[in-house]
Amino acid sequence: MHLKIAMAQLNVTVGDISGNRDKILAALRHARDDLQADVMMTPELALTGYPPEDLVLRPGFMQRTHERVTDIIGQVQGIDLVLGHPWLDDDGQLYNSASWIRNGKLEGRYDKQCLPNYAIFDEKRYFTPGNHPLIIDVKGCRIAVVICEDCWEKEPISQALRSGAELLLTPNASPYRRGKHQRRLDTLTERMSETGLPMAYCNLVGGQDELLFDGRSLFLSPHSEPLNAAHCQESIVCAEFDQQTKAWHDGIGLRHDQLSFDATTAVGVCADREGDLAEVYQAICLGVGDYLKKNGFSTALLGLSGGIDSALCLAILVDVLGAGQVSAVTMPSRYTSDLSNNLARQQTDLLGVKLSILPIESLHESGVTLLADQFSQPVKELTDQNIQARLRGLLLMAISNQTGAILIATGNKSELATGYCTIYGDMCGGYAPLKDVSKTLAYELARWRNNCAPAIPEAVIDRPPSAELADNQLDEHSLPPYDRLDAIMEFYVEQDLSIHEIVARGFDEKEVRRIAGLVLKNEYKRRQGSPGVRITSRAFGRDRRYPITSGWLESGEDS
């Protein structure tokens, strides 16, 4: 006997319960009528979106959720549905649940047992852990449901096996980070080898604030090769499970149907590329595209400096929105080189983007003159530089207010880590595509993007980086070379290594201590910065929570 299992790798919106319901039901009809599937599974908390955070604490939100669950139950006919949603029981306990629905009836409900409470997860703040398995018979096959983190721990799957399960269905909301897919595959394969249970792993796709869900749903069996769904693409995947061989049968191949309703890919000319940098670029594009779309923005603008960060951001925006929906502004000062002005014009001509030129020299002079009476000494160089950056932020925000276009902050992770950025200046913006992208990775992505199709003038990539806020200014005058800086930052921020451990890897202790001190000192800037796509194991924001006021800063990091 063969079972057809469909997985709806959906891009839902947190809080849009009715819209998500409609999307789920449309996918269900497609799985039933076009794919003739026996069962369709949604991702974890698909009805409300993930993570719903404190929305689940609002009575009206949970009441609407219960109403929409009832709506869905009444419309399920001719196919089973495994639906992810939060559930508030009569005793006031809130669960992260998956309901098994068949022909207008609820067959059973599984409550997630292992609640993650690390990194970006804080499910213990909201949910009560479940403790019972759910086993449902479909065509004589006993199928169990476990949810996301339950696959990373041994007990829930072992419990399902002891209860007679022959197949696992697992709804997930597993956020993307670079290299995450292989780690998922290794962990799931380990669980499968422990129990012998084949599984269908359905993951969420799409951007939610800082988080990005990459999809890549999986059909896994000890007796067949893994079948993978697409990266960063909303779709339905369908495969047959052979109950005799316990293998996912490839006789029909992997059905991979892009949904006809509201599918989001947002990867531009690079959609068919593969490899690590392709995955990162596509993830950033999807995160940016979903943030803009789900928050009602159809147009975007940025300040284009002639440097690598704004150039890469412009290429991303054009890939996501199209050139006609993007505008760029260059704001030269006395310190802006002709090369920067020319490169900004070259790139906008290359991509077909409108470029506005707003010189800030007169505003700069007026501002310094106006402030002269307030200062008891000549204007400090840092003060003068920040005046320029903030004037640019003022102009860009004014254009954003006037046009309704979202302003994109173009800073990268290396700058945010060390505070090499101006709060209320170049940090202005509603979203930061490169917030979790190091400077060295920005260069790699720019070169990769140009290999797809020319988008960034080569001179932008080749020139030494500079903020151009003072004569002959280069980043390396204030910071170590980015290859060293980014390596230290990765060890200190993403891997939480101590100074001694980093020094033992061959770095200069004085330099390591300086970088660590800058990271700690500039938490106040990052706390007021824009959200941005998370692509590493430790992004600034909800992923890394450090105090602004801290005695640790005074004593230094010396563990």
Give bridge partners of residue 330 from the DSSP assignment. 357
The pLDDT assigned to 244 comes to 83
Has residue 258 got a pLDDT over 80? no
Let me know: does 123 contact 96? Beta carbons within 8 Å.
yes
Calpha distance 15→364 (Å, rounded)? 44
Write down all domains in the chain, each with its CATH number in brackets. Answer: 2-258 (3.60.110.10), 274-474 (3.40.50.620)
The 10s digit of each residue's pLDDT in 81-110 is 999 999 999 899 999 999 999 999 999 999
Q: 């077909």: which residue's tokens?
A: 352
Calpha distance 436→417 (Å, rounded)? 10
Give bridge partners of residue 101 from the DSSP assignment. 81, 106
Calpha distance 107→79 (Å, rounded)? 13
> Annotated catalytic residue: which of 112, 293, 435, 439?
112
What does the block give as tokens for 287?
Answer: 């995160």
3-state secondary structure of 83: strand
114 belongs to the catalytic site: no
> Annotated catalytic residue: which of 114, 141, 148, 428?
148
Calculate mean pLDDT across residues 339-348. Answer: 91
DSSP string covering 57-73, please? GSHHHHHHHHHHHHHHH
Q: How far from 147 is each of 43, 124, 173, CA to CA, in Å?
A: 9, 15, 9
Residue ranges of the alpha helices (H) in 106-154?
none
Let me know: does 309 contact 411? Beta carbons within 8 Å.
yes
- Where is 94: in which H helix or E strand? strand 94-102
Has residue 526 got a pLDDT over 70? yes
Q: What is the pTM assigned to this prediction?
A: 0.91
The pLDDT assigned to 553 comes to 62
What does the block give as tokens for 63?
Answer: 């009441």
The pLDDT assigned to 262 comes to 41
Question: What percent of the chain clears pLDDT 90, i.e. is strictly above it?
Answer: 69
Average pLDDT score over the chain: 89
Let me know: does 390 contact 360? Beta carbons within 8 Å.
no
The pLDDT assigned to 330 comes to 95
Using the 8-state DSSP alphabet, how is residue 171 labeled? E
DSSP string covering 490-547, please? IIIIIS---HHHHHTTT--HHHHHHHHHHHHHTHHHHHTS------SSS-SBTTB---
361 belongs to the catalytic site: no
The pLDDT assigned to 544 comes to 87
Phi (first) and psi of residue 106, to 5 degrees: -85, 115
Nearest to 6 by CA among 272, 189, 252, 224: 252
The 10s digit of each residue's pLDDT in 364-375 is 888 888 888 888
112 belongs to the catalytic site: yes
Has residue 354 got a pLDDT over 70? yes
- Asked which of 65-69, 110-114, 536-540 is least confident by mean pLDDT, the reply is 536-540
The pLDDT assigned to 201 comes to 95
The 10s digit of each residue's pLDDT in 400-447 is 999 999 999 999 999 999 999 999 999 999 999 999 999 999 999 999
Q: 């839902």: which residue's tokens?
A: 12
The 10s digit of each residue's pLDDT in 259-292 is 544 434 445 556 667 788 999 999 999 999 999 9
Strands 211-214 and 205-208: what pairing?
Answer: antiparallel
The pLDDT assigned to 254 comes to 53
Using the 8-state DSSP alphabet, how is residue 541 labeled? B
> Annotated catalytic residue: which of 4, 44, 313, 452?
44
The 10s digit of each residue's pLDDT in 198-257 is 999 999 999 999 999 999 999 988 877 888 888 898 989 999 988 888 888 754 445 555
Calpha distance 265→224 (Å, rounded)? 29
- Asked which of 94-103, 333-342, 548-557 is least confident by mean pLDDT, the reply is 548-557
3-state secondary structure of 345: helix
Look at phi and psi of residue 99 and say left if phi exceeds 0, alpha if psi is from -120 to 50, else beta.
Answer: beta
Q: How far is CA 249 from the centre of its chain?
A: 33
Phi (first) and psi of residue 384, to 5 degrees: -65, -40
Let me know: does 296 contact 406? Beta carbons within 8 Å.
no
End-to-end CA separation in angstroms for the chain: 60
